[in-house]
Chains A and B, each alone.
Chain A
Amino acid sequence: GQQLNQSPQSMFIQEGEDVSMNCTSSSIFNTWLWYKQEPGEGPVLLIALYKAGELTSNGRLTAQFGITRKDSFLNISASIPSDVGIYFCAGPQGGSEKLVFGKGTKLTVNP
């Protein structure tokens, strides 16, 4: 099946720094979703992208749908301690209507 590869696997940053992470696939996706998960909780939807080249913001978060439709990027500006968590990309698996997830990027923010 399709795999989503996220990088980096983990990041350790100082409060106030900007963060960039990405998600790639060998297959084309028509939708990209970004979720955040905190310990002991389910994933929470952050941003949804539906069109190649689309750039969408949600507060300090900005995500882009890559023009090849095989990748997506998430940026967090001016990080704060509550940004800590695991960020997952997801998309509907080709020919199916279920979401496949990457393995996540774990973000640690030092105050």
Chain B
Amino acid sequence: DTGVSQNPRHKITKRGQNVTFRCDPISEHNRLYWYRQTLGQGPEFLTYFQNEAQLEKSRLLSDRFSAERPKGSFSTLEIQRTEQGDSAMYLCASSYWARGNEKLFFGSGTQLSVL
């Protein structure tokens, strides 16, 4: 396994369109996280899953955003009716979570540009 994989690497879309991103975590990891990063900022938490259960969602995650992890393996993040403010790098991370082992391993991200 070569790490966390994200597709696509880049996405350009017009305002109002829907987009979907995919993340394949490291295979033995039970947790999967989505973060968003804008220029000059650190990654900001959006949501995370333990296996297929979505355990927490940030208030940053508006109703236009939805994430799924149907079989506890890969995850998708969908943004409906995109807005220019959605332009950002969307990062996926995974971990084998245990208390005292909070290490997250990130993918290369999907860079979204909304025109």
Contacts and interface: CB of A to CB of B under 8 A. Distances in A.
Contacts of B33: 98-99
Nearest to B44: A101
Interface stretch (A43-51, A58-66, A72-80): A43-51
Interface size class of A (residues with CB under 8 A): 20 to 34
B41 A97 contact: no
Contacts of B108: 40-42
A31 interface: yes
A104 B41 CA distance: 7
Interface size class of B (residues with CB under 8 A): 20 to 34
A99 B45 contact: yes
A42 B42 contact: no
Contact of B91 (A42, A45, A93, A98): A42
A100 B106 contact: no
B107 interface: yes
Interface string B99-111: 0101111111101
Interface of A: 4, 31, 33, 35, 40-45, 48, 50, 88, 90-93, 96-104
29 contacts: A33-B102, A33-B103, A33-B104, A35-B106, A40-B108, A42-B6, A42-B93, A42-B106, A42-B107, A42-B109, A43-B91, A43-B106, A45-B104, A50-B100, A91-B102, A96-B56, A97-B55, A97-B97, A97-B102, A98-B33, A98-B48, A99-B45, A100-B45, A101-B42, A101-B43, A101-B44, A103-B40, A103-B41, A104-B42
Interface of B: 4, 6, 33, 40-45, 48, 55-56, 91, 93, 97, 100, 102-109, 111
